[in-house]
Amino acid sequence: MDPVLAHRPDEAARSVRIPTGRDPGWPARAVWAAPGSPFAEAFRHLALRVRTGLERAGASSVLVTSALPQEGKTVTACNLALALASLSPMERVALVDFDLRLPGVARALQLEARIRLADVLRGDAPLHAAALVTEAGLDVYPNAAPSTAAHELLVRGEVPDVLKRLEAQYRWVVCDAPPLLPVPDVELLIPHLGGCLAVVRAGSTRRSVLREFWDEIPREKTLGFFLNDMRPPAHARRYHRSGYYTDSDPPDPGEDA
């Protein structure tokens, strides 16, 4: 499908570059900054599975969430979107920051948000004006500052309208959302999206929390769980260090990475 700006250029939309440097926080951009690393390949595997699940459901949008904060959902959403874009070079992908309470996508990708998604949901700006167009095949719809009344924005009629328009304009739409258990935002968003990917942090997420999380997610929307912070198996590390790949293993990613 054509990118959002292909048929309606607008001066408010900006072309930006996602950094490729190894500065602090770069694991959130690993698929772009270290495309040959085991970490990047793990997200391509995830992207293939998510894509298959969405195709089976006849859907094109996925919500990425976790049970609690600091489990890696933003790192996962960013890399999943970049991986989907790398696997679909002729089609654009949208990454939308629906975590209105604690937005992290713009910071994770080191992009500056002038017009925020929250402005679009309030009716203060058109959707295309919020797009940050990148050379990675990815258009980002960011937020910058926390919204104190996120639930009031999420119950507005603009939310399903925005998502329908994005689904019509992009092949895949990845939405970073707040954690499910502390706030009601995911419950408000998920009826309007095609699927849900749950992020679980290895060695951190308790089983009791995971059970509560599982009870809250609609089964028909669940695409599966992604185990974050899991060290690649030895055979994968040997393969990537065999001389063909030059990217070294990135540090363990965190929510603020």
Pair 105, 178: CB distance under 8 Å: no
Q: Which amino acid is at 179?
A: P
Q: Please, what are the domains in the chain?
A: 14-18+40-231 (3.40.50.300)
3-state secondary structure the chain: CCCCCCCCCCCCCEEECCCCCCCCCHHHHHHHHCCCCHHHHHHHHHHHHHHHHHHHHCCCEEEEEECCCCCCHHHHHHHHHHHHHHHCCCCCEEEEECCCCCCCHHHHHCCCCCCCHHHHHCCCCCHHHHCEEECCCEEEECCCCCCCCHHHHHCCCHHHHHHHHHHHHCCEEEEECCCCCCCCHHHHHHHHCCEEEEEEECCCCCHHHHHHHHHHCCHHHEEEEEEECCCCCHHHHHHHCCCCCCCCCCCCCCCCC
Would you state the pLDDT for residue 243?
A: 40
Q: Which amino acid is at 205?
A: T
Q: How far apart are CA 174 and CA 25, in angstroms?
A: 20
Q: How far apart are CA 87 and CA 83, in angstroms?
A: 6
pLDDT tens track, the chain, 257 positions: 444 444 333 445 679 999 998 888 888 999 999 998 888 999 999 999 999 999 999 999 999 999 999 899 999 999 999 999 999 889 999 999 999 999 999 999 999 988 999 999 999 999 999 999 999 999 999 998 898 889 999 999 999 999 999 999 999 999 999 999 999 999 999 999 999 999 988 777 778 888 888 888 888 999 999 988 755 555 544 544 444 434 444 444 444 33
Q: How far apart are CA 231 and CA 202, in angstroms?
A: 9
Would you state the pLDDT for residue 201?
A: 85
Give 213's Cβ-side CA count (13 Å radius).
Answer: 23
Would you state the pLDDT for residue 196?
A: 97
Entry pTM: 0.85
